[in-house]
A and B are shown apart, each in its own frame.
Chain A
Amino acid sequence: MTKITYTEQKDTRSGFGAGLLEIGRNNKNIVGLCADLTGSLKMSDFKKEFPDRFFQVGVSEANMMGLAAGLTIGGKIPFTGTFANFSTGRVYDQIRQSIAYSNKNVKICASHAGLTLGEDGATHQILEDIGMMKMLPNMTVICPCDYNQTKAATIAISGHTGPVYLRFGRPKMPVFTKEDEPFEIGKAQILIKGTDVSVFATGHLVWQAIEAEAILAEKGISAEIINIHTIKPIDAETILTSTTKTGCAVSAEEHQINGGMGESISRVLLQHRPVPMEYVGVNDSFGESGKPMELLAKYGLSADKIVEAVENVIQRK
């Protein structure tokens, strides 16, 4: 495999905006809804090009989820847009009853997820959304790793029938996946092959895992880096194939360890072939104000911490 590099940094939310515009042009049933965050969600281009298919809901997220459920009746494919905090915890029961239980074809698109929302602080930095959403029957949960992949995922979910939670973020981050790479829901992506440890990362932490791999390589540790862009359904086959080879695992996510992607992986491992595992994530704490990279460092979501977790887990083999 060639070394993974990047030439520019872009925000994943802009990938969503670009993807939404593209599918809007190809499918007249795509409709957008936004709760007073059109600019932040990068939905302005869609709104401008398709004013009749864009609904400004105002600051009323519960209503937005109900509207989206209703719009599916008659064949529309609604994409709701607001921050991840207001896309999940604030409206959990609306999603549960009107969307998940009713199995409506709604795409819940959530920006500013996790600590990297930054300066707004813990009220807005949701770290529990993956857990809440993956517990809902019928719900597919996707957390792409960069701009290109978020765009591809946005396009892919428009062709998937059923409720989807699409999680992305605010800051500019390295763009390292290929522009034309198709997105396969439910198929984990092996980014770097390795033999000593399997590192499973999702979202912004995938880049941190790639950086960790370079540090580990210098130390003579061969890490396999796998991008778990789809948290539900989890790709058990790819996970087990990797850990059968490496014999240990580390998870990395911008989310609580409790209920996160790592726990989905450990369930697969425990059920089929247990191996030692370490978790990189937020450890039962709320976030705080700060710059995105400062927060990732302070809460232990950095390449260094992934290296540390790998060194620990290898000792336990």
Chain B
Amino acid sequence: MPEPLTIPQLNRIASQVRRDIVRMVHSAQSGHPGGSLGCTDFMVAMYFRILKHNPNFKPDGTGEDVFFLSNGHISPVWYSVLARNKYFDLEELNTFRKINSRLQGHPATKEGLPGVRVASGSLGQGLSVAVGAALSKKLNGDNHMVYVLMGDGEQQEGQIWEATMFAAHNKVDNLIATVDYNGQQIDGPVDSINTLGNLRAKYEAFNWEVIESEGNDMNDVISSMTLAKSLAGRGKPVINLMKTEMGKGVDFMEGKHQWHGIPPNDEQLASALSQLDETLGDY
């Protein structure tokens, strides 16, 4: 077993992943950089430290942890961490959102991209799928975990709360959900669109174990997910309400909902890359 990566090592990877994200979205002139950048630290922590996973990908996920991305529009960050974990060739990141690519705008299984087990993008569905996969693991006597990441705007979907109620009632305690709580959605701040109110109290009322974290602090991401894991197996599903900043790492994108789903131009790309160290070599 190799030594787990240190916080500085993870931060160096995150810088490269952020470069990958802005370069992919710039190259396609299409995609969602804001949420991708905000979730970079979390996704790096998951794929380089937390998940027990096998880059020699098996779709049925038996004998390993399984991760689902419910807010599928942040596919760039997922594709980058998968490629950087050698699920597929780094060069393939060049094909993002282009014709004949496995790297669809929103994640899909049809083209057989390693790492993806279900399509996502139409919001609100990933939590139900994750709960189903967690039930499957229990039936199989497989002690590995199921993880799912959701958006905060996505919490407005009714299906989320159907799944939340079901998971608690059925004591699905091998499931750790995380909310990317950046407070922004396409049309503006979440609180101005349709406020989530006290999200912690809502999940607690549904009988989930709730923790909170700072999603752009690698230390806190690791410690909160470690805590989440220690709370698993006790009869309740676990959720990590993870505060992030949309566009994190690129100054002109930070905190701005306008960067939910638009690509940078050439000048903006140059500015963004000047702020992000090329630590592992660009693809």
Q: Report how far A98 CA is from B120 CA in the complex, Å.
A: 7
- In the complex, chain B residues 131-170 whose Cβ is within 8 Å of any chain A Cβ: 131-137, 139-140, 142, 158-159, 162-163, 165-166, 169-170
Q: Report how far A64 CA is from B159 CA in the complex, Å.
A: 10
Q: Tell whether, in the assembled complex, residue A74 and residue B137 are in contact, meaning their CB atoms are under 8 Å apart.
A: yes
A234 within 8 A of B: no
Q: Report how far A93 CA is from B121 CA in the complex, Å.
A: 11
Q: Tell whether, in the assembled complex, residue A70 and residue B165 are in contact, meaning their CB atoms are under 8 Å apart.
A: no
Q: Tell whether, in the assembled complex, residue B62 and residue A74 are in contact, meaning their CB atoms are under 8 Å apart.
A: yes
Given contacts A60-B162, A62-B162, A74-B133, contact A98 B118 (CB under 8 A): yes
Segment among B45-53, B85-93, B122-130 that sits at the interface with chain A: B122-130
- In the complex, chain B residues 109-124 whose Cβ is within 8 Å of any chain A Cβ: 109-110, 117-122, 124
Given contacts A66-B159, A67-B128, contact A75 B62 (CB under 8 A): yes
Segment among A49-57, A149-157, A256-264 that sits at the interface with chain B: A49-57
> Across the interface, which residues of A come within 8 angstroms of B133, CB to CB?
70-71, 73-74
Q: Report how far A231 CA is from B109 CA in the complex, Å.
A: 26
B279 to chain A, nearest CB (A): 33
Q: Tell whether, in the assembled complex, residue A75 and residue B129 are in contact, meaning their CB atoms are under 8 Å apart.
A: no
For residue B129, which residue of chain A has the nearest CB? A70
B79 to chain A, nearest CB (A): 17
Could you give, for residues 40-72 of chain A, a 1 whenever the CB lies within 8 Å of some chain B CB and a 0 otherwise?
000000000000110101101011111111111
Q: Tell whether, in the assembled complex, residue B60 and residue A75 are in contact, meaning their CB atoms are under 8 Å apart.
A: yes
B138 to chain A, nearest CB (A): 9
A230 to chain B, nearest CB (A): 23
B235 within 8 A of A: no
B61 within 8 A of A: yes
The A interface, classified by DSSP as helix, strand, loop or mixed, is helix
For residue B62, which residue of chain A has the nearest CB? A74
Q: Tell whether, in the assembled complex, residue B166 and residue A57 are in contact, meaning their CB atoms are under 8 Å apart.
A: yes
Number of A residues whose C-beta is below 8 Å from B? 32
Q: Which 5 A-B pairs have the closest CB atoms?
A: A70-B132, A66-B128, A74-B136, A60-B162, A63-B162
B155 to chain A, nearest CB (A): 15
A167 within 8 A of B: no
- In the complex, chain A residues 63-90 whose Cβ is within 8 Å of any chain B Cβ: 63-76, 78
For residue A76, which residue of chain B has the nearest CB? B136
Q: Tell whether, in the assembled complex, residue B139 and residue A70 are in contact, meaning their CB atoms are under 8 Å apart.
A: no
A141 to chain B, nearest CB (A): 20
For residue A59, which residue of chain B has the nearest CB? B162
